[in-house]
Structure 1
Amino acid sequence: MNAIFERFPYRVPASKRVRVIVNTDAANEADDQFAIVQALLTPKLDIRGFVATHFGAQRTETSMEQSFDEIERILALMEMSGDYPVYRGSAGRLNDEAPIVNEGAQFIIDEAMRDDAEEPLFAIFLGAITDLAAAYKAKPEIAGRLTAVWIGGAYPDGGEEFNLGNDIAAADIVFGSDIPLWQVPRDVYKMPRVSLAELAVKVRPWGTIGEYLFRQLEQFNLLPTHSPRWPPGESWNMGDSPAVSLLIDDQNFDCELRHAPEIGADMGYVHSGARRQIRVYKSVDSRFILEDLYAKLQLFHELQGFHF
C-alpha cells in the first residue's frame, strides 16, 4: 500500500480493497493522466502495475512507447518512481493469426493466475483493449479470474468510436469471451465534463502534479492540429476517469446486463443474443468522479508537507 495512505484522514477496510491493473494509452490526449493520478490516490485500489498500450498509428508509430514514458513521468512527478511496475503492452493492433504476448499481456496473465491473492482482480482499459485480447488468446483460463472495465464502444448499435476503432478485432475477441466485462460506452464516458477554468481553480493549485495535470491539458488544447469542432476550446471530457470511479463505487443501479454483440468491421453491432451478458453503463456520476479527484489532490498536496 502507498505509504501516503497511512496519513489519510480515513481508512478503507481490508475486505473492501481490490487489486487493479491499469492499462492506458496515456500519451494519446490529456485525460488519461487524470485517471492515473486518481487511481494512485485511491486507498481502495491495490494497484499491481501499469500497462502502456498503443493509440493507433494515425499520429505516430511509437504511441505505446510514448504512453510508457508518460506513465513514468507521472510517477516521477508524484515521487512514486519504482513504487509500481510499468510494462510495455501492444505497439499496435492484435495480429489475429499470431497474437504477440508482450510483457503487458503476460503481466495480466500472471496477475490473474495468482493463487496467493485474496483480493478480487480488476483490469481497467482506458484505450484499445488489445492487451486483454492477447492475454486471453494465450491463456483463456484468465476469463474466470478477473473483471475487465473498458472505456470504449458505443450503444446501442455501435458505430465509430476511437478506442474501439484502434483494435476492432481485439474488442470482438473480448466480447466473445467469458471475461466478466463492464463497458462504459461513448455517450456515458463523455458525461464528466469540466471547464478549463474549473481545472485552473480545483486542480492547478495542488502541487507539482496538479500543475502538470492542468498545464498538459491546457497545452494539448492549443495544438494547431485539432479540427475546428474538437476539442471545444474551453472544456474537456474526463472520459477515462469513470473506470476508476466505478471501482470506488460500482454504481450498479445505473447499468444493465446485455448480451455482448458481435462487432463488424464498420464498428456496428450485431445483437444475436448468442454471447454471454456484460454490464453496460447507462450513466456515471460526474460530481462524484470530479469531487473525489479534487479532494484527493488536495489531500496529497497537504500530506506531502507543501504549503503556500
Structure 2
Amino acid sequence: MHPIFERFPYRVPANKRVRVIVNTDAANEADDQYAIVQALLTPKLDIRGFVATHFGTNRTDTSMEQSYDEIQRILRLMDMSEDYHVYRGSTGCLNLDSPVISEGAQFIVDEAMRDDATEPLFAIFLGAITDLAAAYKAKPEIAGRLTAVWIGGGAYPHGGEEFNLGNDVAAANIVFGSDIPLWQVPRDVYKMPRVSLAELAVKVKPWGAIGEYLFRQLEEFNMLPTHTLRWPPGESWNMGDSPAVSLLIDDQNFDYELRHAPVIRDDMGYDHPGTARQIRVYKSVDSRFIMEDLYAKLQLFYELKSSE
C-alpha cells in the first residue's frame, strides 16, 4: 500500500483490497489520464504495475512509446515514479501467426501466475486489448487467475464501430473466445460519465501539479485544429475510461447482465451464435460516483502533500 494512504481519513479492510494491472493507451487523447490518477489515489487498489499500449498506427507509428511516456509523466507529477513499474506493451495489432509477447504481456502472465499472492487480480484495459490476448496465447492458464475489465466494443446487441475495438478486432475475439472472466463496458455505457470543462476547472484544476496538468492537457487537446465538427463538443468531455477504475471500487452488481460472448466481425458488428461462454456486460455506470470520488481524492491528495 502506498504510504500516502496511511494518512487518508479512512481505511479499507485488508480483505477488500485487490491487485490491479492498468493497461492504457494513455497518450491517445485526454481522459486516460484521469482514470490513471483515480486508480493511483484509490487505497482499495494494490496497483502492481502499468502497461503502455498502442492506439493504432493511423496517427503515429510510436503510439505505445507515447503512452509509456505519458504514464511516466503522470507518476513524476505525483512524486510516485519510484513506486510503480511501467512496462512497454504492444506496438500494434496482434500477429496471429507469430504473436509478439511484449514486456507488458509477459508482466500480465507473471503477475497472474504468482503463487504467493492472496488478493484477487484484476487487469483493466483502457484501449486495445492486444496485450491480454498475447498473454493468453502465451499462457492460457492465466484464464483462471485474473479478471479483465475492458472499456471497448459497440452497444448490444448489434455492436458497431468503436475505437478501442477497432485497434485490434482479432485480439478481442481471442479474449471473448477464451475462459478469462471478462467485464465489458461497451461504448454506449462508457459514454455516460460526461463533464463540462467549467466543472473540471473548478473541481480538478486547483489541486496541485497533477490537477493543473489534468485540466490543462484536456483543455489543450480540446483546442486541436484537427478535430471534426462533431467531436469533441467543445465545452464538455466524456470520461470514458474512468468506469474501469470505479467498477473496482464498487462493481454495481445490479447494473450488468450476463451475455454469451459474441463473435466480432471485421466491421465490428456482433454475431451471436449463443454457444459461447458468458461475460459480464454493463448496462450503465454511476457517473456521479465516478467523478465525485475523483474530485474528493484529488483534494485529499493535495492537502496531504501540502502538509508534508
TM > 0.5: yes
Once residues 82 and 97 of structure 1 are traced to their aligned partners in structure 2, the CA distance between those partners, rounded to angstroms, is 37
Once residues 268 and 152 of structure 1 are traced to their aligned partners in structure 2, the CA distance between those partners, rounded to angstroms, is 13
Amino acid at match of 1:82: E
Structural RMSD (CA): 0.8
Aligned to 2:188: 187
Aligned pairs (5 A) from 1:92-107: 92-107=92-107
Amino acid at match of 2:46: D
Correspondence 1:11 to 2:30: no
Once residues 156 and 110 of structure 1 are traced to their aligned partners in structure 2, the CA distance between those partners, rounded to angstroms, is 35
Aligned to 2:291: 290
Deviation at 1:305, TM superposition (A): 1.5
Once residues 306 and 197 of structure 1 are traced to their aligned partners in structure 2, the CA distance between those partners, rounded to angstroms, is 28
Once residues 64 and 222 of structure 2 are traced to their aligned partners in structure 1, the CA distance between those partners, rounded to angstroms, is 21
Amino acid at match of 2:9: P
> Does 283-292 or 153-162 show the bigger shift?
153-162
3-state SS of 2:206 partner: coil
Aligned residues: 307
Aligned pairs (5 A) from 1:121-160: 121-154=121-154, 155-160=156-161
Amino acid at match of 2:192: M
Unmatched tracts of structure 1, length 5 or more: none
Deviation at 1:23, TM superposition (A): 0.0
Aligned to 1:85: 85
3-state SS of 1:252 partner: coil
Once residues 193 and 118 of structure 2 are traced to their aligned partners in structure 1, the CA distance between those partners, rounded to angstroms, is 32
3-state SS of 1:253 partner: coil
Once residues 274 and 179 of structure 2 are traced to their aligned partners in structure 1, the CA distance between those partners, rounded to angstroms, is 14
Aligned pairs (5 A) from 1:29-108: 29-108=29-108
Once residues 168 and 112 of structure 2 are traced to their aligned partners in structure 1, the CA distance between those partners, rounded to angstroms, is 22
**Would you say the 8 A contact 1:203–1:294 is kept in 2?**
yes
Once residues 71 and 110 of structure 1 are traced to their aligned partners in structure 2, the CA distance between those partners, rounded to angstroms, is 21
Amino acid at match of 2:12: V
Once residues 274 and 127 of structure 1 are traced to their aligned partners in structure 2, the CA distance between those partners, rounded to angstroms, is 27
Aligned pairs (5 A) from 1:221-300: 221-300=222-301
TM-score computed with the length of structure 1 as normaliser: 0.99
Deviation at 1:100, TM superposition (A): 0.4
Aligned pairs (5 A) from 1:111-126: 111-126=111-126
Over 4 Å off, 4+ runs? none
3-state SS of 2:254 partner: helix
Once residues 247 and 82 of structure 2 are traced to their aligned partners in structure 1, the CA distance between those partners, rounded to angstroms, is 27
Once residues 70 and 251 of structure 2 are traced to their aligned partners in structure 1, the CA distance between those partners, rounded to angstroms, is 28
Deviation at 1:274, TM superposition (A): 1.5
Amino acid at match of 1:243: A
Deviation at 1:82, TM superposition (A): 1.7
Once residues 25 and 253 of structure 2 are traced to their aligned partners in structure 1, the CA distance between those partners, rounded to angstroms, is 26
3-state SS of 1:92 partner: coil
Aligned to 2:221: 220
3-state SS of 1:33 partner: helix
Unmatched tracts of structure 2, length 5 or more: none
Deviation at 1:302, TM superposition (A): 0.1
What do the CA deviations read for 1:101-124 (whole angstroms, capped 9, x no partner)? 010000000000000000000000
Aligned to 1:169: 170
Deviation at 1:306, TM superposition (A): 5.8
Deviation at 1:156, TM superposition (A): 1.6
Amino acid at match of 2:84: Y
Deviation at 1:176, TM superposition (A): 0.3
Once residues 3 and 209 of structure 2 are traced to their aligned partners in structure 1, the CA distance between those partners, rounded to angstroms, is 19
Aligned to 1:201: 202
What do the CA deviations read for 1:71-129 (whole angstroms, capped 9, x no partner)? 00000000001210000000000001010001000000000000000000000000000
